[in-house]
Structure 1
Amino acid sequence: MVQAQLPLHSLLSFRIVCKQWNMMLQSKSFIAKVPCARHGGWFLFRGEGKECVAFMPSVNKWCQINLDFLLPARVRVVATSGGLLCVRQHDDQLIVCNPFTKAWLQLPPKLHRWKYPIVGMVKIGQSYNVVVAGRKGAHANIVTEIYDSETATWKLVIDKNQIQLQQSFQTNAVFFNGSLYCAGQNAILVYNMEQNQWMEISGPIMENTKLMLPQICVCHSCLLMVEVMSNRFLMTRISIWKLSKFGGLWSKIASMPDKLLKEVMNISGSRLFTYFGCNNLVLFIFARRRVLAYNIRQNSWHWIPCCPFIHNFARRFAHFSYDPNLGSTI
C-alpha cells in the first residue's frame, strides 16, 4: 500500500479528505503496514486545556495534535515516550494515549497526590513505565510510584538512599541511558530504573543562572544544560554545557554569537526563557512566539518558523521531545 510508505505529516493531512480515508488510517491493518520509528523527532508543545502543537524539523513545519478524543475537559501532557503521551487530568488522574490512533487508557489511581510531581515515562518494546515522584512536607524524602503496563498496577518504591527534596526541580524528567534526569537549583536528580533508586549529581559550575530555571535535556545522545550569564539582570552570554559519558565532567561546547544574543535581547529583554532538546537540535523558547534552534552536529544557529496555530504560545506552553509512532499500543 502506497499510503503506508508516506511520512506521518502527510498521513495526517489525508485524514481530512474524507471519512473513509480517516477510518482507513486508524485501522489496525493499515497501522501494521506503517514502518516504525521513521518519522524523526518532533518538538511537542503543550498549552492550556487540550491545546497541543508540534514542530517537525524534517519538513520545517508545524502541525496541530488533536486531543479532543480524550473525555476529560482539561488535560495536560506531562511526559512522552515511544509515540505515547502521558496526560494528567485536573483530579491528578493519569491517562496514556497515542494521539494518532486515538487509543487511550486511564491508569488506576496512585497512592499519593502531589501538586507539582516529577513525572517520567519510559517505553521499551511494547511495554512502558510511568514514574511519578514527590514529597510530603518541606524536607521530606522522595516518594516514588511506578506504573507498569504489563501488570497494569502501581508499585511504591522504597528508596534506600533517602534523598530529600529540599528545592524545586523540573517536573518533566528526561530518559537517558537507563535513568531519568531532572535538574534543580543546586543539583541534578537521577533515578536509576534498574536499581529503583535516586541519587544526586552535580551540574556544571555556572557563574549566574538567575535569569533561567535549571533544566537538563537530551540532544545528540548527550545530556546538556544551558548557562546564562547576566549583568544587572541583562543577559551577557548564553552557553551550552555537555556532560561527558565517562567521569561525569561537564564541558562547555558552544556559546551564542554576540550578534544573535543582541537579537534575542531585543525580542525577550531579561525575561525567563526555557529550552529542550531532541535529536540534533536544542530549542530555545523566547517571548513573542519565537523559537531559536542550535544544531549540535553542525554547530549552527537558526530561527524556526513561528507557530501559526497558537497566539503567544511561548509564555504558556510546556515542551517535550516526541517520537510519533502509529504502531505504539497502550
Structure 2
Amino acid sequence: MEIGENLVLREKQKRKFLEICEDSRSLLQELNQDLLERVLSWLPTSTFLRLTSVCKKWKSVADSATFRLACSQVPFRDPCFFMVDSDPHLSQHPVVFDSAEKKWKKLNPLPLVHPKKNQETCSNSIPVAASGGLICFHSTNGDFTVSNPVTGSTRLLPALNSISQQPILSISMAANSERFKLVLILDQLPNLSFKMYNSYTDLWEEEISLNQKINNSAEAEKNDYHSQYFLTSGNVVSADMQRSPFRQYSAALTVENGDEILYFLSSSGTVVSCNLTHKLFFEYPRLLPVFSEFSIDIVECGGQMYVVLLSEFFESASLRVWKWDENMHAWQQIAAMPPASSHKFYGKKVDINCSGAGDEMLVCLYSAEVCSYVMCNLVRNEWIELPHYHTEDDKARDFVCAFSFEPRIEADI
C-alpha cells in the first residue's frame, strides 16, 4: 500500500511540475522579442543551450544578433574549466568542469583547422591560453588557433615566420565580447621582448624589446631575507622544478594602476613581471632556496597574480598560495591547503597546474602516482577536492591541467 501511495504522490508532483513549466513557458511566450532575449540572456549558458529545444521561437533567439548583444552585457558567467588529458589521443573528446552546476561535461570536438589541409582537424594542437569565452591553441608547427568551445567557431591566426628562430617563453590572452589579443614573451632572460596579435586588425604588431628594472641593493637584501623565512631549517632535497609540457607557456595577464602586466615563470622557477605599458621587466626574489624540491605555478584570480607552490620539508608536503606585497617588498602567504590534505603528495613528485576565475582557482596535481583536482576559494581559504571524471565504460580520465573560460555564446573571434 505504501509503495502505491508513493507512486501516486510522485505522479501528482510530476503533473504539478509540468503545469508550472507550461504556465512559465506561456508567460515567456507572451513577452516581446526584446524582453524575452534579455530574460534568457541571464540564464547560464548550458541551461539556455538545452532550452533552445523548447520551441522554434526560443531556438531563433540563439542566432539573434540582439540576443548576443544582451548576453555581452551580462558582467560575469560562472566559469568552466577546459581539462587537458595526460593522454593526448583523448584530446579529441574534450571535457570541462562546470563550476555553476558542479559537474563534468563533454564538449563537441573543436574543429582546429590546419592551414595546409583545409577542413581537417589538427590533432597536434594543445591549449596554451584562455580568456573570456575563448581558448587559444598552439600546434607543433607554430600555428595559433583561437576557438570558442561553446559554439565551436574557430579562427586561424596569421603565421609567425618572423620569430621562428626565437624561443617563446610565455603566451597570454585577453578577450572581451568584441575582440581579443595574444601576447608572446620571446627570447631568453635578460634579453626579453614581446609581440602582440590584435584580432581587430588581424595582424601581429611589431616586436618590442623590454628593459630590465633593477632594485637597489638594500631592497634586494631585504627581499632575500623575507623570501625564505619558512624554510630556515631542516634538510632540503635538491631536484629540478616540476613543469608540465602542457603548461610550459603559462602566464598571468593583469591590469594594475592602468598598466598592463604579464607574469610568467622563468626556466629556474622565478617569477618575472613584464610591464607591457612601460616596456620593463623585473625578476622577483625566490620563494624558496635555489636547491629545493618543489613545483610552482602562477595564476590570475580577480585581477591579481598569485604564486601557488608545493614544497617538501620535514617529511611532509605543503601547498601554499602567495601574493607579492609591494609595501613590504616580500611574498606574503594568503592561503594554504590543510596539512591533512597536502601530506598525501609527499614524495610523489607532483606537478601542480592552476587556473583561476574570480575568487576561485582549480589546482590540478598530477604525477605517475597520483592525480587530484582541488577547487580553492582564496577569500575563504576553502579547499574542496573534486570527484574524478569517468567515461561511459567507467574508466577514469586523468587530467594534467585546466584552462578557465567563461561559457559565452557571444564571444566573437
TM-score (norm 2): 0.66
Query: Matched residue of 1:276: which SS?
Result: strand
Give the Å deviation of 1:190: 2.1
Match of 2:355 among 276, 297, 310: 276
- Is the contact made by 1:208 and 1:229 (CA closer than 8 Å) also made in structure 2? no
1:252 to 333, 336, 347: 333
Q: In the alignment, is residue 320 of structure 1 matched against residue 357 of structure 2?
A: no
RMSD (CA atoms): 3.4
Amino acid paired to 1:187:
T
User: Is 1:147 aligned with 2:197?
Assistant: yes
How many Å separate the matches in 2 of 1:20 and 1:90? 44
1:44 — aligned with what? 82
Q: 2:271, 2:107 → 1: CA distance?
A: 31
Give the letter aligned to residue 178 of structure 2: Q
Distance 2:178 2:326 in 1: 28
SS in 2 for 1:9: helix
Aligned residues of 2:194 and 2:208 also touching (Cα < 8 A): yes
- CA distance in 1: counterparts of 2:84 and 2:101, whole angstroms: 20
Other-structure match for 2:104 = 62
Mapped pair 1:93 → 2:143: yes
Larger mean CA deviation between 211-220 and 84-93 belongs to 211-220
Range that drifts further, 111-120 or 79-88: 111-120
Q: Which runs of 5+ in 1 are unaligned?
A: none
Paired residues of 1:78 and 1:119 also in contact (CA < 8 A): yes
Q: In 2, Cα distance between the equivalents of 1:270 and 1:139?
A: 27
Contact 1:186 1:202 in 2 (8 A): no
Q: 2:253 pairs with 175, 187, 210, which one?
A: 175
CA-to-aligned-CA distance 1:102-160 (integer Å, 9 cap, x gap): 3322111112236654111122562322112332xx77723432111222111232314
Q: What's the counterpart of residue 10 of structure 1?
A: 47
Number of residue pairs matched by the alignment = 319
> Does the C-alpha gap of structure 1 residues 140 and 241 become closer, same or farther in structure 2, counting only changes over 3 Å?
closer
* Separation (CA, whole Å) in 2 of partners of 1:209 and 1:220: 32
Measured in 2, the distance between the counterparts of 1:273 and 1:222 equals 19
Cα shift at 1:39: 1.7
Choose 1 or 2 for highest CA Rg.
Answer: 2
Conserved? CA contact 1:36–1:326, under 8 Å: no
Partners of 2:272 and 2:281 within 8 A in 1: yes
Q: Is the 8 A contact 2:388 2:397 kept in 1?
A: no
SS in structure 2 at match of 1:259? helix
The one-letter code of the counterpart of 2:104 is W
1:194 pairs with 2:194:
no
What is the Cα deviation at residue 91 of structure 1?
A: 1.9
Residue 82 of structure 1: aligned partner: 132
Q: Kindly report which structure 2 residues correspond to 1:227-306, keeping only aligned pairs within 5 A, or say none.
A: 227-231=309-313, 235-244=316-325, 246=327, 248-265=329-346, 269-287=348-366, 288-306=370-388
Q: Which amino acid aligns with 1:283?
A: L
Q: CA deviation at 1:194?
A: 2.2
Identity %: 20
Alpha-carbon distance between aligned partners in 2 of 1:24 and 1:66, rounded to the nearest angstrom: 21
CA–CA distance in 2 between the matches of 1:128 and 1:41?
18
CA 62–250 in structure 1, closer or farther in 2 if over 3 Å, else same: same
Name the SS for the 1:273 alignment partner. Answer: strand
Q: Is the 8 A contact 2:40 2:48 kept in 1?
A: yes
Matches within 5 A, 1:208-223: 210-223=292-305
Instruction: Return closer, same or farther for 1:57/1:132 CA change in 2, 3 Å cut-off.
Output: same
Q: CA deviation at 1:204?
A: 5.1
Aligned counterparts of 2:264 and 2:130: Cα–Cα separation in 1: 15
Bigger Cα displacement from structure 2, 294-303 vs 282-291: 282-291
Contact persistence 2:129–2:173 (CA under 8 A): yes
* Deviation string, structure 1 residues 161-208 (Cα, Å, up to 9, x no partner): 179xxx99941211112211112335322222323x241231553258
SS of 1:66 mapped into structure 2: coil
Contact persistence 1:26–1:101 (CA under 8 A): no
1:120 aligns with 2:172: yes
